[in-house]
Every structure is written in C-alpha cells, then in structure tokens.
C-alpha cells in the first residue's frame, strides 16, 4: 500500500489525531482502521503509535 497525503489529509490528521490518507484509486479520503480495525493514533507532531 502506498498512502498519499495532501493538505486536507494533514489537517484531518492534526485535528483528529488519527491517520487519514488520500486514495488515488477511489479518489476519496479514508481513515486508517475504518474497515480493518487497526488504526494509528498520532502521539506527537512527528510520531505515530498503533492502537
């Protein structure tokens, strides 16, 4: 998987403290863990932790 980040995704990540990506194939935003249940939570401005 290659996750793409754009300005909108960055804002979502900083506001929600969760990892979001831009799907090039679906042409939409998605939150990591929505379907798999394995999400990442942002611990700091430069670090992620699995939860």
Where would I find the H helices in 1-51? 7-16
The per-residue pLDDT for 50 is 47
- Report the pLDDT value the prediction gives residue 19, as an integer from 0 to 100: 82
Residue 30 structural domain: 7-50
pLDDT digits (tens, 9 = 90+) for 1-51: 566 677 888 888 888 888 888 888 888 888 888 888 887 766 665 554 445
Number of domain units in the chain: 1
| 1 found inside a domain | no
Q: pLDDT at position 49, please? A: 47
Global confidence as pTM: 0.56
CA 8 to chain centre: 11
The pair of structure tokens assigned to 16 is 């929600």
What does the pLDDT read at residue 11? 85
CATH of the domain at 45: 3.10.20.810
Please indicate, yes or no, if residue 38 is contained in any of the structural domains.
yes
SS3 content of the chain, % helix, strand, coil (to 5): 20, 35, 45
Adjacent-strand bridge partners of 44? 47
């Amino acid at each position: 998987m290659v996750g793409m980040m754009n300005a909108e995704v960055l804002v979502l990540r900083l506001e929600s403290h969760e990892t979001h990506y831009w799907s090039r194939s679906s042409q939409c935003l998605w939150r990591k863990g929505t379907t798999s249940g394995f999400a990442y939570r942002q611990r700091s401005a430069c670090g992620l932790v699995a939860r």
